[in-house]
Structure 1
Amino acid sequence: MAVTQTASTDEQQRERSGNYYLKPSVQKGVPFHFAGETRTPDGAVDYGYFGPGSLAWQVLSPATVAMLIDGPAAALELIHRGLLSVVLEHDPINDEDARRKRRRLAGTPVEARRSPREVLDRHIRTGLVPTPIIVGDTPTAAFTAKRLHAYHKPMKSVVPGSPGGPEDHYDAASAKMMLFAHVTICHAGLRLYEGVVARDGRLPRRFSPGQRDQYWREMVAFAELMGVPREIVPDSAQAVADYYAGIAHEYRDVPLRAFLSRTAQNRGLYLSTFRLANLPDTLRMLALVGVVMPVTLAVIPRPVRRILNIPRFLDPAFNALKVPFGLLLWPLQKNPALGERTAQLIFGSEAGGALRMLREAREAAARTKAAAPVATV
């Protein structure tokens, strides 16, 4: 049986290159291709670095994961001195200069005060912007990773409020920081998927130990694309646990006081968004927070709760939240189009459109792979 390869049309190329959340993957003068749309130099269908059937696609592709991953990712990252410092000093949601640059690049007016739309945009970017690394063909994935790495290169300085010694310097684009971001984002996606995403007509549940190890083996390619040497990337669940144990000292002295001070200087991140003129977006933001916060507390590991000073006796209550939220999110997982419409309602048409295009690309690639002849010996 011949392989029926799905090629992108000019209309699809225009839609992709014009989408706000997919633009970081668009290389000038080069078509934007998803997995299964092109061929490798040896003539094989290019499914990218992961492809249909991979656990990377299964875990990180659902709309529910894209919409919610920023919460657990932030919980895992912002207790770390270096990552919190990057957010303090360089993230558009906190740093005014970075905020204005981001708004100019997006072609949107820079308001004197933050709006709920900016908060919503920052939240969904975590789940959408890196996705072409997972779902793109190899050139698209490699370019997206290169672009994201370059975006983080200027993000280097000294931890706020620290003495400024060698251990107090941070560099967001260094292999060390990229590895930490890689592990925490992949871990957040895994915890979220296992905790609240239904699959196979059953309630959410943990992977088997073998599946967890397979997921981490697959994700080594993601870290390599972001500039991390393969030999230092954890490739199993135990290796990830050992990695966390090895950096435990970096969770001390998290400059939360500096974070709160900086947020106050910027007129209060969330308080400044509550304005009558922005009531619809404010309600969307409140609805999102009402889901993301309990889901985050339900899926983050117990040691992270301890670092966040959450009492141990609350663990059973947070663990019990997985079942009701799994049921609440079940329709979005069972009907992907409903998940995309939900994303469009909360985050806007650009987010809904990006999720739809990503889903259609995955479905087309799966059909292409299913039609491929089975090799025989």
Structure 2
Amino acid sequence: MTDGNRKQQNVSLWRRGGAPTAAGPQDFGCYGPDSIAWKLLSHSVVPAMTVQVTALLQFTHAGMSANMIDHDPLFEAGRKGRARPDMFVNRHRRTFGVVVPAILGDQATAGRICTHLRHVHRNMQGVIPRTDTPYDAAGPELVLFGHVTLMHAALMSYERAGYHGLRPPSRLTDAERDRFWAEVVPFAVMMGANEADVPRSAAEVEAFYESCEADYYNFDLMLRESLRSVGDALRPSRWRHPVAALTVTSLTLSHFLALGIIPPPARRHAGIPAGLDPVIDVLFHASRPAYAVLGIPAVGDALVSWMVGPDSTDLIANARRLMEVGAQDTERCAA
């Protein structure tokens, strides 16, 4: 395979409908360099950990887990004994890498990505196991749940693990949190959520989770399918690609680290007793130096490039440049 073909193959893992166009002064997309959304997505820890945290928030939801069990190719392959390490790894990498252009690209790019994702989800319907309750991946209810959990995962990853040099992570101010939730409303609407239902503040997000409380069940089914797929991908016969197999193991372990990022109520949904919270918190704090390493450009940028691909890596670099220019302009005005 030539270098050009290899690069194209790598790009195709994430690219949907052509190369994205970076946001810029003529079209900052839905957000822009002054947004909290850009601040979060431009930090290395967010692309590195958001998928793991999102999984922990979503796998315990009956409708979301039913959709993944029924329609995700990885779970289907696991049931047939055909799961491969690269399937698991690539599924993980493209989950967030496909979304980044919708946040850091121009408006046309955002619209194209959301249209593609709606098209993918349009035929994902079924009935939640053990019930007669239907689910619809393209329906406004599951779209809204997916939006809130994805954005919440990005926010929590930044607040809990986003080092800035030697400065440890810190919580955004209440005003910044509310601003973030208001900023990302357009993404939810473009994905198919009802605009009137989309939370616009941290308080509304909390109320949304409370409204979903009855929807957390059947986690045992999701856990069984997940373990089956991972176990099948890691069978000795699959170790012909040792790097991919080791990567599956590392990604699986990173989900356990992510338990320290999610809040206690989310742990309860996964059946983790409150008595284990102190243990989880101690282990998470012990692992935090590993997150600090992501603040080293050579390390963090390399991981981001591997995780979300060359297109999103370029978009993140572009966003950082625009944010830096904006900060310099603000300083000049203040002077």
Shift of 1:355: 4.5
Task: Give the equivalent residue in structure 1 for 2:3.
Answer: none
Query: Aligned equivalents of 1:198 and 1:362: distance in 2?
Result: 18
The yes-or-no answer on 1:82 pairing with 2:63 is yes
Per the alignment, do residues 328 and 274 of structure 1 end up closer, same or farther by CA in structure 2, a change over 3 Å counting?
Answer: farther
Match of 1:340 among 269, 284, 301: 301
> Does the CA contact (< 8 Å) of 2:166 and 2:292 recur in 1?
no
Q: Residue 199 of structure 2 is aligned with which of 231, 234, 237?
A: 234
Cα separation, partners in 2 of 1:90 and 1:45, compared to 1, 3 Å: same
Deviation at 1:262, TM superposition (A): 9.0
Structure 1, gaps ≥5 residues long: 1-14, 37-43, 100-110
Query: Cα–Cα, structure 1 residues 364 and 276, in superposed 2: closer, same or farther, change >3 Å?
Result: same
Once the two structures are TM-superposed, the CA of residue 263 in structure 1 deviates from its matched residue by 6.8
Change (3 A) 1:273 1:343: farther
The CA RMSD measured in Å over matched residues stands at 3.0
CA contact (8 A) 1:21 1:354 kept: no
Q: How does 1:133-212 map to 2 (within 5 A)?
A: 133-162=102-131, 164=132, 168-199=133-164, 201-212=166-177
**Percent of residue pairs bearing the same amino acid type:** 29
Contact 1:194 1:204 in 2 (8 A): yes
CA contact 1:25–1:140 (8 Å) conserved in 2: no
**Residue 300 of structure 1: aligned partner:** 262
CA contact (8 A) 1:115 1:273 kept: no
CA contact (8 A) 1:33 1:137 kept: yes
Q: For this pair of structures, how many residues does the alignment match?
A: 325
Partner amino acid, structure 1, of 2:15: K
Q: Which residue of the partner structure matches residue 288 of structure 2?
A: 326
Aligned position for 2:315: 358
TM-score w.r.t. length of structure 1: 0.77
1:310 aligned counterpart, secondary structure: coil
Q: CA deviation at 1:95?
A: 2.2
Q: Gaps spanning 5+ residues in structure 2: where?
A: 1-6
Q: Is the 8 A contact 2:185 2:199 kept in 1?
A: yes
Contact 1:47 1:137 in 2 (8 A): yes
| Structural mapping, 1:1-377, within 5 Å | 19-26=11-18, 32-36=20-24, 45-96=26-77, 113-162=82-131, 164=132, 168-199=133-164, 201-252=166-217, 254=218, 256-257=220-221, 260=224, 264=228, 268-272=231-235, 275-290=238-253, 292-335=254-297, 337-343=298-304, 351-366=308-323, 369=326
On the 8 A contact 1:217/1:235 being kept in 2, the answer is yes
Q: Name the structure where helix makes up a greater proportion of residues.
A: 2
Quote the Cα distance in structure 2 between the aligned partners of 1:372 and 1:267.
49
Note the alpha carbon deviations across 1:266-311, whole angstroms, 9 max, x for none: 7954444763312222122222323x12321101110111122212
User: Partners of 2:139 and 2:246 in 1: how far apart?
Assistant: 38
